[in-house]
Amino acid sequence: MVGHESPPEPRRRPRQARAQRTVEAIVEAGARVFAERGYAGSTTNHIALRAGVSVGSLYEYFPNKDAILAEVADRHVQRMIGPVIELLDTAEPAPEGLPDWLDRFVERMLAVHLESPELHRLLLEEAPHHPAIDACVLQMETSLAHRVRTLFERDAGVSLRDPDTAAHLVVQTVEALTHRFAHHGIHELSPQAFVAEVTRLLAGYLERSRRGA
């Protein structure tokens, strides 16, 4: 009769799993509520309600409202740069193909910006500049810049005088322009034309910046 009365599953698991689900629900609810109502307009009660959880539970897992924002921001940024990093990491060494992958880079950045624009805008523009968010964004940029620089260096055709600066400028420019375009557009410019134009902008820069030039 030993080991008979208790199911083989560990006892603590369900609790932890439940807790995990609760946290998950809160973060997701947070993302939606923040996106819909802005930071100041969102209350912890809204979020708890949307998560199907009581405020008490919310405070069981997050010390305050900002902590929810930080988590939401972190996840959002991770989800955003994932595809971009993947692209950068799998880029073929192709000297003459520079414009080609620039094109693909810009294209993917734009795609990523168009995905959940409200949340994105919130995090980058409206949210009080919480250290956590600032850190997130800087880290994202550094991470991308680092990979872009690696590509520059690996690519024989692009041997720049100051590859690090170039990489940062490129990343910042693409980030800023796609962000802007995703939100306000530029006249009637189509996304394709926009991507082409930004690619041209960067290609010109990189050619000019070659060490030999």
Residues forming contacts to DNA in the complex (CB under 7 A) are 8-9, 12, 14-16, 18-19, 21-22, 41-45, 53-57, 59-60, 63-65
Regarding 40 and contact with its own copies (CB under 8 A), the answer is yes
89 within 8 A of 147, measured Cβ to Cβ: yes
Q: Which amino acid, one-letter code, is at 100?
A: D
Subset of 83-122 contacting its own copies (CB under 8 A):
121
**24 versus 45: smaller Cβ distance to its own copies:** 45
213 within 8 A of 207, measured Cβ to Cβ: yes
Residue with tokens 């980030």: 175
* Residue of the chain from 83, 130, 153, 157 that contacts its own copies (CB under 8 A): 130
User: How big, in percent rounded to 5, are the helix, strand and coil portions of the chain?
Assistant: 75, 0, 20
Of DNA, its own copies, none, which one does residue 14 interact with (CB within 5 to 8 Å by kind)?
A: DNA
Taking residues 45 to 64 in sequence order and writing x for each that binds its own copies by CB under 8 A, - otherwise, the string is --------------------
Instruction: Determine how many CB atoms are found less than 10 A away from the CB of residue 92.
Output: 8
**63 versus 212: smaller Cβ distance to DNA:** 63
CB of 41 to its own copies, least distance (A): 5
Regarding 19 and contact with its own copies (CB under 8 A), the answer is no
State the Cα–Cα distance between residues 6 and 33, nearest whole angstrom: 41
60 within 8 A of 42, measured Cβ to Cβ: no
Q: Which amino acid, one-letter code, is at 184?
A: H
Of its own copies, DNA, none, which one does residue 104 interact with (CB within 5 to 8 Å by kind)?
A: none
Q: Return the structure tokens found at 63.
A: 């010390």
Q: Residues in contact with its own copies, total (CB under 8 A)?
A: 47
